[in-house]
Structure 1
Amino acid sequence: MPRKSFLKPTLTLAGLLSLVALYSLFYTPTPNPNPNTGTINLEEKDNKKVKIYMYDLPRRFTYGVIENYAAARGGQAVSKDELLKYPGHQHSAEWYLFSDLNRPNEERVDSAVTRVMDPEDAELYYVPFFSSLSLVVNPIRPAVNASSDKPTSVYSDDQTQEALMDWLEEQVYWKRNNGRDHVFICQDPNALYKVIDRVKNGVLLVSDFGRLARNQASLVKDVILPYSHRINTYKGDIGIVNRKSLLFFMGNRYRKEGGKIRDLLFQVLENERDVIIKHGAQSRESRRMATQGMHSSRFCLHPAGDTPSACRLFDALVSLCVPVIVSDSIELPFEDVIDYRKISIFVDSSTAIKPGKLVKLLRGVSSERILEFQKELKKVKRYFEYEDPNGTVKEIWRQVSMKLPLIKLMSNRDKRMVLRDLTEPDCSCLCSNQTGVHTIL
């Protein structure tokens, strides 16, 4: 048989290789966008974010609340809103979110939401009423004018809530989806209590479900927020050498409802060795003592307050003091990204109040295990820092953005549902707002 010639295929291959070489020589590839090293197309990134519109509420619902709070405490009037200072307290999330949305979008590159100025472009609507501050505008003892001996404050939180809803319910965007695409912050357990049934369709930003009914709030549609911590963040490294105390707690001994367990815990713990448990109300000196105690203790006790959550949990987290959570129905923020079993110890209430039981449990935790807790605490600490650009505010908006698919589902469902005569509320959009069970370490 005649031999096959390989000349033609060889010449063809050589030609192809030459073309590839020339292409490589003269072609400059477009850089692939990389968040760490490459070019970022900001417009393209913004298109992927959830578009949120912040209502330009009448002043009485924002800066006016701050002004009334200051006036009720003898503060001086200021000429510009920019000079008003939001009082620092555990419910200041409402101020941080308001301030964040007032920043230019280019300063919020990594946020899950982008603010739009035209409500027609929006997917969500944020209502920036300072509901928690409004609740406490009037001090327990109203401020008194020295010349007249009459209270100077006539602010009414109830009337302010009603006025907010009267204004909001006239807005076309509220009416369009029955408020489902509106976001409210009501972090204090009693915030918005007067109108809660009128806003329950919306996304509620809350600290727990302690005062909310099953048909008002749930993990499905709402977002759990951390309280703003009151004590200074621990700046040191992990370790137990300088943490001489086994367990620390400082706070009100006597609370209402769920917080009744505090008095029982005082009774079983106040005489235990290496345990510091003190009664104390909020004050500058109390915060100083709490900072010192949390920074020098291995474990920090977190019993329920008037509701399942309390700010001391977040004080402990930023102190790298391992929280010991004694609150059977607590909800915790950002649980899709934080495994609290790695940073906390959960003890059910019935076990915690048995004499000697809690202390014995904590003494049995090895030094190595405590260091593991502290390492994890250091990793997630930013989630509880409202002032960290990569911290709490950014995570709250991520959580809010994740509610959009459900909002669209329920809004569309509402429009096609036949009117029904229900014997009980329709909770089909809600999930668990129920008592949970926690296990011991």
Structure 2
Amino acid sequence: MFFRKPSPTSSLNYYLPSSSDLFPKTKDKDPNIALTKLNKIKYLLLSCLFIATWLILLRLWLSLTTTTTLTTTTTTTLNNHNKTCVGSYPFYIYNLPPQFNLGLLEHCNNLNIYTNMCPHVANNGLGQPIVTTVTALSSPSSSWFATHQFIAEMIIHARLENHPCRTWDPSEARLFYVPFYGGLYASSVFREANLTQRDSLAVDLVDYLQSQPWFNINEGKDHFLALGRTAWDFMRTPSGPDFGANILLNMPPVKNMSVLTVERQPWQGKNQFGIPYPSYFHPRSLAELMTWQKQICDSTRPYLFSFVGGTRHGLEKAKIRDEILKQCKNSMKCELVQCGNGASKCHDPMAVLEVMSKSRFCLQAPGDSFTRRSTFDSILAGCIPVFFSSHTAYTQYAWYLPDEKNTYSVFIDENDCGEGKKSIEEVLMRISKEDEEKMRVAVINLIHKVTYMHPNASVVEDVSFGDVVDIALERLSRIVEEKISGKDFGSEEV
């Protein structure tokens, strides 16, 4: 549902007495007049006291009710800016040696074999600020960044640093966060032929954790990692193919931990939990979020559907892309933004959102792996996602997307698309306007759940709206409680 912004309160200046009332220049000769003025001053002071008390209570009420998506696990006042922790157990952040996180950034130009990551690791992983030119956004905002799709681990670290549920005392913590930039490290050694060298930092991390007393109390069951790359990048096996992965997630101590990743292994990832890829919008306040929701809701959508993407070669699951490209090119109702080498609108965040904000449906085909960041770009733009594999979203993001899949998305089995089979245009044309509008409302109401709030938001404004990190903390609190108590913590295996 849309969030309602509280009505502005009247200015307090209206209720303040003037200096002449409080400090008269001449003594009143009439005692009745003096008594009347004294009563007036008392009344005004009492009014100010009442209004101040009401505003304090209103602020407290807002801080407790705006995180409506969370189930309160505990409410604790911690030592982070004297704010109240709601929805999560208190957590402790390990102060890891720098080679596991911030030290990696010293060589940011070598963190990815395909691109220089230095611009992308700026601003705590948000990347470079961008000026929005999306038609639906009427004015520039300081909450838009050219965020890299594989950078979630940095953003989560920054968000947790300022989170009100953080505690600096490990004896108070019920959750323990290990801020390992495993995705950035993995991408820097994809082409390392020496497997021992490729695995070295992951092995060093596990050795470090096993030397820590807090890890050994519950054998790591109350610890969690956040990884900005897919689980496949950390699950190399001796008998399986080598795609540049390391062995982090296959190490027994890590299997006890909870792992947040942008794509989980659907069949073996019992301790893995899918988190959204970061998109480009990182609001600092509830007001900014609501403004965007309103503007994208009012957006005019001349295209029935659109596809932002390119071809893939040598991948069985990517065959559907060729069919999508063909059908989109042959349709007068489809807008195609084809990606490839060289200059492309695909690399311009605002150009991508411009197309999606003008489209009623956005096609989401698997690519190098099952999932893609484009799914969350389309939700941000209020465009209904169309999936061709259940592993693109349905088996991945159970914490963030509704169980009722048809309430916010369309599913067309990739095996039903092809020569002489289903036409994507015809399937979408058969959806009634009423059902389409219901789905769009559901999509727009998902924006806050798949958005990473600006890391400084919890410092600037004591109001949260239940973003990716808040929801993850709440779910992790439940899981850790169940794991430590010996219960089955509800795997999301297919």
State the TM-score, normalized to the length of structure 1: 0.70
SS of aligned partner of 2:304: strand
Counterpart position of 1:209? 264
> Is residue 295 of structure 1 aligned with residue 370 of structure 2?
no
| CA deviation string 1:135-154 (max 9, x = no partner) | 223698x9xxxxxxxxxxxx
Unaligned runs of 5+ in 1: 1-29, 109-113, 143-155, 414-427, 435-441
Counterpart position of 1:308? 370
Between the aligned partners of 2:214 and 2:92, the Cα distance in structure 1 is 10
Between the aligned partners of 1:38 and 1:254, the Cα distance in structure 2 is 47
Residue 369 and residue 126 in structure 1: after superposition, are their counterparts in 2 closer, same or farther (change >3 A)? Answer: same
Greater Rg, structure 1 or structure 2? 1
Preserved CA contact (<8 Å) 1:54 1:115: yes
Which one of the candidate residues 348, 351, 359 is aligned to 2:413?
348
Task: Please state how far the C-alpha of 1:209 moved relative to its aligned partner.
Answer: 2.8
SS of aligned partner of 1:320: coil
Partner AA of 1:311 in structure 2: R
Task: Please state how far the C-alpha of 1:401 moved relative to its aligned partner.
Answer: 1.7
Preserved CA contact (<8 Å) 1:125 1:182: yes
Residue 76 and residue 271 in structure 1: after superposition, are their counterparts in 2 closer, same or farther (change >3 A)? Answer: closer
Counterpart position of 1:137? 188
Preserved CA contact (<8 Å) 1:52 1:123: yes
Which one of the candidate residues 65, 77, 91 is aligned to 1:43?
77
Preserved CA contact (<8 Å) 1:268 1:355: no
Preserved CA contact (<8 Å) 2:338 2:346: no
Partner AA of 2:77 in structure 1: E
Between the aligned partners of 1:269 and 1:84, the Cα distance in structure 2 is 38
Counterpart position of 2:171? 120
Between the aligned partners of 1:294 and 1:205, the Cα distance in structure 2 is 27
Matches within 5 A, 1:38-77: 43=77, 46=85, 49-70=88-109
Q: Which moved more, 1:187-196 or 1:331-340?
A: 331-340
SS of aligned partner of 1:91: coil
Between the aligned partners of 1:321 and 1:82, the Cα distance in structure 2 is 29
Task: Please state how far the C-alpha of 1:399 moved relative to its aligned partner.
Answer: 1.9
Task: Please state how far the C-alpha of 1:328 moved relative to its aligned partner.
Answer: 2.6
Counterpart position of 1:364? 430
Which one of the candidate residues 313, 323, 348 is aligned to 1:264?
323
Q: Which moved more, 1:40-49 or 1:339-348?
A: 40-49
C-alpha RMSD of the superposition? 3.8
Matches within 5 A, 1:183-262: 183-189=224-230, 190-193=232-235, 194-198=247-251, 199-210=254-265, 213-214=267-268, 217-218=269-270, 221-230=271-280, 236-238=295-297, 242-254=300-312, 256-262=315-321
Percent same amino acid among aligned pairs? 20
Preserved CA contact (<8 Å) 1:257 1:307: no
Unaligned runs of 5+ in 2: 1-52, 66-74, 79-83, 128-146, 236-246, 283-291, 455-463
Partner AA of 1:251 in structure 2: G
Query: How many residues matched?
Result: 360
Between the aligned partners of 1:401 and 1:264, the Cα distance in structure 2 is 43
State the TM-score, normalized to the length of structure 2: 0.63
Residue 75 and residue 230 in structure 1: after superposition, are their counterparts in 2 closer, same or farther (change >3 A)? Answer: closer
Which one of the candidate residues 144, 151, 160 is aligned to 2:201?
160
Preserved CA contact (<8 Å) 2:399 2:471: no
Task: Please state how far the C-alpha of 1:291 moved relative to its aligned partner.
Answer: 2.2
Task: Please state how far the C-alpha of 1:202 moved relative to its aligned partner.
Answer: 1.0
> Is residue 396 of structure 1 aligned with residue 438 of structure 2?
no
Partner AA of 1:300 in structure 2: C
Residue 172 and residue 258 in structure 1: after superposition, are their counterparts in 2 closer, same or farther (change >3 A)? Answer: farther
| CA deviation string 1:131-183 (max 9, x = no partner) | 1222223698x9xxxxxxxxxxxxx6532222212212222222332222110
Task: Please state how far the C-alpha of 1:234 moved relative to its aligned partner.
Answer: 7.5
Between the aligned partners of 1:183 and 1:91, the Cα distance in structure 2 is 18
SS of aligned partner of 2:256: coil
Counterpart position of 1:10? none
Residue 386 and residue 431 in structure 1: after superposition, are their counterparts in 2 closer, same or farther (change >3 A)? Answer: closer
Between the aligned partners of 2:278 and 2:444, the Cα distance in structure 1 is 17
Residue 126 and residue 170 in structure 1: after superposition, are their counterparts in 2 closer, same or farther (change >3 A)? Answer: same
Between the aligned partners of 2:334 and 2:151, the Cα distance in structure 1 is 31
Task: Please state how far the C-alpha of 1:347 moved relative to its aligned partner.
Answer: 1.9
Which one of the candidate residues 397, 401, 423 is aligned to 1:333?
397
